[in-house]
């Protein structure tokens, strides 16, 4: 939980634009995909921050840019007091040991020609941690930690089911004792009955190892289950950020409200009573985002004389409850 | 209500190098005219294969429809000639697939792909087909439809492409539309739009819909009846309220419990179903769920349960122990 443990990471004004180019020999830039467009948030030690949004909202790019898998266009990521974005070489490598990542597609993120022992042990080799014997012992320990039989070290990824493959990915992510784990949609490619197993595993590991999670997902019901705080992204910007219960009980941004009402719930009674907001149209292209409030093209409560003209700032309406909407006050309960 | 489709003991297998995959293992049920049926299950439970078997779209080899009858509109689709099944497919019986990008031809305009079906099945001329296509695209909510007939699939967004697929499915006024995970690749807000559209179209056109999905929430929202499938069997079937509120099969129960509800206590540990689904190659006799079931006894391991009525005739379950479980005797 976000208690007095302090801040582990601060993301400040993070921007990542990808160039759109034409021509092969003489490449020229004809535009930019504004994948992440000024994102600011804090990560508290030991908490799980859920980052939700639809396709193209930039949530994965935020995670990858924090790890410097992408070079940011602008902005800072201060991890434990040091700015990751200005680090180079050995210093950066040392910092990277403290942050790791779990990927969405477990099979695609495991090398099919490596045994799971060498996959899980690879971070130890890369970062020159311990000798061969120590590394082997560590791999065994990691496999046990994620609920896999340590005798499977010499098997290959295809011999495992999707849920087990994700466990392998988790073991690899934990190899170097990270403090922060960026979970990029770790359960969305798994079957329903397996998702719960992985979520419980992540919960248990957090308790045992004191991990901090940035949990990226589009499944709001799972995010609510696992997160302490939740940030909702739309077109490269955070539109709302608050603790879990505030987001679910009193969402202040019209987009969050629509997103919540669109979550399918397997309960016919609940479906009859709840109010549904069906958004019109599609998410606009991040290459050409709308002016002003970028949600104004789909917003059910848009004021056409204001919203398309002025961009709303992320404001703290209640302690810890941030929202980027000019008219959010109207939804305060 | 008139019966539109009746399936009797449908069995489909795939013969591959590693053995025989028992994909669909004796499925029987019926759909009434104008009914929305949800078919739910996890990957590999046979939900898509059973639908493809109905359409006779199983590649043979390696697949083979071993036995069964599929009565649709007075014909057994499994015995009619290839020519006759082509007449039915895309006409009275249409299908919408999961991934709209790979089921639309990227090199042909959207208009052409829909007009083709209209000319083939209904013998329309160019002008009639074009007018009807514009009408269909408007009906599924594509803005400015008549100006988009000459656009190619890549010029549409994912949600819009799925609308195109639905328009194509609807083009010849089907009596039954089979939709195989039509919203799985889409975002939730777009999924909500498509589900809403489907409800409206079904009410307007009165066709029957089979909606195949792994998402129990979508089924609860949309369907009237639901089949829960596991390892190629229907393990529970009934109207939505019965199946979701008076759940009788331990698998269905496990699935519902493993989902964090929006109203449930968010901090609590999620209930899980231990283990993984069985390998469908050389499936052993006995209840397919026995290995993961907390209630399995001797009988469950040796005899395969068949669907039997529960408290209501229309709510059936394939479990030897449902009464014991309900009474709390185990």
Closest by Cα among B131, B144, B209 to B170: B209
Contact (CB<8Å) B215/A264: yes
Cα separation of A104 and A115, whole Å?
Answer: 20
Contact (CB<8Å) B193/A266: no
Contact (CB<8Å) B270/A268: no
First-residue to last-residue Cα distance in chain B: 39
Q: What's the average model confidence in pLDDT over A272-281?
A: 82
SS3 of residue A33 by DSSP: strand
Buried b (16+ CB within 10 A) or exposed e, A254-264: bbbbbbbbbbb
| Closest-CA distance of chain B to residue A36, Å | 19
Q: Is B203 exposed, middle or buried (0-12, 13-18, 19+ CB in 10 A)?
A: exposed
SS3 of residue A63 by DSSP: helix
Q: What is the ipTM of this complex?
A: 0.80
Query: Is residue A318 pLDDT above 60, yes or no?
Result: yes
Contacts of B190 in chain A (CB under 8 A): 54, 282
**Structural contact between residues A48 and A226, judged by C-beta atoms closer than 8 angstroms:** yes
Q: Is B291 exposed, middle or buried (0-12, 13-18, 19+ CB in 10 A)?
A: middle
Pairing assessment for the beta strands A212-217 and A180-184 based on DSSP bridges: parallel
pLDDT at A157: 92
Which has the higher per-residue pLDDT, B112 or A130?
Answer: B112
Which has the higher per-residue pLDDT, A285 or A172?
Answer: A172
CB count within 10 Å of CB B106 equals 9
Residue B195: CB partners within 8 Å, gap ≥ 6?
A: A264, B183, B218, B221, B222
Instruction: Using CA atoms of B65, B66, B70, B75 in order, give the dihedral in degrees to the nearest 10.
Output: 90
SS3 of residue A18 by DSSP: strand
Interchain contact B255–A (C-beta under 8 A): yes
Q: For chain A, which residues make up each domain, given as ranges?
A: 7-87+214-328
Mean pLDDT (chain A) is 90
Mean pLDDT (chain B) is 88
Choice among A25-29, A123-127, A245-249 with the minimum mean pLDDT: A25-29
Contact (CB<8Å) B188/A191: no
Q: Which residue has the tokens 């919540």?
A: A260
Closest by Cα among B52, B1, B2 to B23: B52
Q: What is the CA radius of gyration of chain A?
A: 21
Query: Is residue A2 pLDDT above 50, yes or no?
Result: no
pLDDT at A320: 93
pLDDT at A5: 63
| Closest-CA distance of chain A to residue B44, Å | 10
Q: Which residue has the tokens 């069997």?
A: B233
pLDDT band of B264, cuts 50, 70, 90: low
Buried b (16+ CB within 10 A) or exposed e, A124-143: beeeebeeeeebeebbbebb
Query: Is residue A246 pLDDT above 80, yes or no?
Result: yes
pLDDT at A146: 92
pTM reported for the whole predicted model: 0.85
Calculate the CA B313 to chain-centre distance. 23
Cα separation of A216 and A127, whole Å?
Answer: 26
pLDDT band of B81, cuts 50, 70, 90: very high
As separate numbers, helices (DSSP H) first and strands (DSSP E) second, chain A gives 10, 12
Q: CATH assignment of A7-87+214-328?
A: 3.40.50.300
Of A222, A244, A265, the CB nearest to B220: A265
pLDDT band of B267, cuts 50, 70, 90: low
pLDDT band of A265, cuts 50, 70, 90: confident
The CA-CA-CA angle for residues B38, B233, B254, to 5°, reads 70
Cα separation of A300 and A150, whole Å?
Answer: 54
Query: Is residue B278 pLDDT above 80, yes or no?
Result: yes
Write the pLDDT tens digit of every residue in B137-168: 988 888 888 888 999 998 888 778 888 988 88
Query: Is residue A83 pLDDT above 80, yes or no?
Result: yes
* DSSP codes joined into one string, A220-233: HHHHHHH-SEEEEE
A126 Rama sector, left if φ>0, alpha if ψ -120 to 50, beta otherwise = alpha
Domains and CATH numbers, chain B: 3-102+174-327 (3.40.50.300)
pLDDT band of A3, cuts 50, 70, 90: very low
pLDDT more than 70, % of chain B? 97
Phi, psi angle pair for B118, to nearest 5°: -65, -40
3-class SS letters over chain B: CCEEEEEEEEEEEEEECCEEEEEEEEEEEEEECCCEEEEECCCCCCHHHHHHHHCCCCCCCCEEEEEEEEEECCEECCCCCHHHHHHHECCCEEEECCCHHHHCCCCCCHHHHHHHHHHHHHCCCHHHHHHHHHHHHHHCCCCCHHHCCCCCHHHCCHHHHHHHHHHHHHCCCCCEEEEECCCCCCCHHHHHHHHHHHHHHHHHHCCEEEEEECCHHHHHHHCCEEEEEECCEEEEEEEHHHHHHCCCCHHHHHHHHCCCCCCCCCCCCCCCCCCCCCCCECCCCCCCCHHHCCCCCHHHHHCCCCCEECCCCCCEECCCCHHHHHHCCC
Contact (CB<8Å) B260/A266: no
**Structural contact between residues A293 and A326, judged by C-beta atoms closer than 8 angstroms:** yes
Which has the higher per-residue pLDDT, B180 or A219?
Answer: B180
Which has the higher per-residue pLDDT, B265 or B247?
Answer: B247
Highest mean pLDDT among A133-142, A183-192, B85-94: A133-142
Interchain contact B203–A (C-beta under 8 A): no
Residue B90: CB partners within 8 Å, gap ≥ 6?
A: B117, B120, B121, B172
**Structural contact between residues A206 and A227, judged by C-beta atoms closer than 8 angstroms:** no
Closest by Cα among A190, A185, A248 to A221: A248
Cα separation of B324 and B330, whole Å?
Answer: 6
Interchain contact B246–A (C-beta under 8 A): no
Write the pLDDT tens digit of every residue in A180-233: 999 999 988 888 888 888 999 999 999 999 999 999 988 888 888 899 999 999
Interchain contact B256–A (C-beta under 8 A): yes
Which has the higher per-residue pLDDT, A145 or B260?
Answer: A145
Q: What's the average model confidence in pLDDT over B311-324?
A: 91
Query: Is residue B263 pLDDT above 60, yes or no?
Result: no
Choice among B92-106, B117-131, B287-301 with the minimum mean pLDDT: B92-106
pLDDT band of B10, cuts 50, 70, 90: very high
CA atoms within 13 A on the CB side of A14: 33
**Structural contact between residues B268 and B277, judged by C-beta atoms closer than 8 angstroms:** no
């Amino acid at each position: 939980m976000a208690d007095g443990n302090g801040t582990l990471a601060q993301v400040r004004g993070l921007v990542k634009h990808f160039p759109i180019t034409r021509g092969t020999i003489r490449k020229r830039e004809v535009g930019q995909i504004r994948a992440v467009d000024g994102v600011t948030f804090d990560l508290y030690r030991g908490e799980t921050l859920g980052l939700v949004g639809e396709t193209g909202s930039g949530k994965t790019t935020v995670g990858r840019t924090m790890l410097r898998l992408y070079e940011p266009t602008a902005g800072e990521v201060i991890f434990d007091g040091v700015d990751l974005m200005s680090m180079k070489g050995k210093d950066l490598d040392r910092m990277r040991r403290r942050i790791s990542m779990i990927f969405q597609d477990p099979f695609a993120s495991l090398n099919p020609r490596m045994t799971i022992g060498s996959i899980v042990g690879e971070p130890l080799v890369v970062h020159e941690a311990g000798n061969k014997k120590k590394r082997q012992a560590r791999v065994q320990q990691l496999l046990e930690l994620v609920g896999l039989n340590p005798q499977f070290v010499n098997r290959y990824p295809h011999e495992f089911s999707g849920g087990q493959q994700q466990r392998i990915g988790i073991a690899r992510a934990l190899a170097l004792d990270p403090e922060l784990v960026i979970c990029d949609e770790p359960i969305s490619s798994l079957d329903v009955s397996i998702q719960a197993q992985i979520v419980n595993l992540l919960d248990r590991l957090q308790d045992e190892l004191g991990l901090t999670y940035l949990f990226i997902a589009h499944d709001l019901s799972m995010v609510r289950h696992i997160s302490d705080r939740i940030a909702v992204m739309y077109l490269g910007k955070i539109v709302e950020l608050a603790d879990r219960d505030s987001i679910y009980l009193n969402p202040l941004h019209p987009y969050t409200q629509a997103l919540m009402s669109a979550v399918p719930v397997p309960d016919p009674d609940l479906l009859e009573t709840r109010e549904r907001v069906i958004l019109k149209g599609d998410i606009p292209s991040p290459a050409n985002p709308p002016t002003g409030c970028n949600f104004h093209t789909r917003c059910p409560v848009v004021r056409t004389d204001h919203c398309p003209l002025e961009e709303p700032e992320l404001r703290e309406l209640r302690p810890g409850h941030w929202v980027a909407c000019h008219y959010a006050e109207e939804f305060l309960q | 209500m008139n019966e539109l489709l009746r399936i009797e003991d449908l069995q489909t297998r795939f013969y591959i190098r590693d053995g025989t995959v028992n994909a669909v293992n004796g499925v029987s049920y019926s759909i009434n005219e104008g009914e929305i049926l949800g078919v739910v299950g996890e990957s590999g439970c046979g939900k898509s294969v059973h639908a493809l078997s109905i359409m006779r779209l199983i590649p043979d080899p390696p697949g083979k429809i071993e036995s069964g009858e599929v009565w649709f509109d007075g014909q057994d689709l499994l015995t009619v000639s290839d020519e006759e099944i082509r007449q039915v497919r895309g006409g009275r019986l249409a299908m919408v697939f999961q991934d709209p990008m790979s089921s639309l031809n990227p090199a042909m305009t959207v208009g052409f792909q829909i007009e083709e079906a209209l000319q083939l099945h209904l013998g329309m001329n160019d002008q009639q087909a074009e007018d009807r296509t514009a009408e269909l695209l408007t009906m599924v909510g594509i803005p400015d439809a008549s100006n988009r007939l000459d656009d190619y699939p890549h010029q549409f967004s994912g949600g819009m492409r799925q609308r195109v697929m639905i328009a194509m499915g609807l083009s010849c006024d089907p009596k039954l539309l089979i939709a195989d995970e039509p919203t799985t690749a889409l975002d939730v807000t777009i999924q909500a739009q498509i589900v809403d559209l489907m409800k409206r179209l079904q009410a307007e056109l009165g066709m029957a819909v089979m909606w195949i999905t792994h998402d129990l929430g979508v089924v609860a929202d949309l369907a009237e009846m639901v089949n829960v499938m596991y390892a190629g069997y229907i393990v529970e079937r009934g109207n939505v309220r019965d199946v979701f509120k008076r759940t009788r099969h331990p698998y269905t129960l496990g699935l519902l419990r493993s989902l964090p509800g929006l109203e449930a206590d968010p901090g609590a540990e999620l209930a899980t179903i231990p283990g993984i689904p069985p390998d469908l190659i050389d499936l052993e006799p006995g209840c397919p769920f026995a290995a993961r079931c907390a209630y399995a006894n001797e009988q469950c391991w040796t005899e395969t349960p068949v669907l039997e009525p529960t408290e209501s005739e229309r709510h059936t379950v394939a479990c030897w122990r449902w009464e014991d479980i309900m009474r709390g005797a185990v």
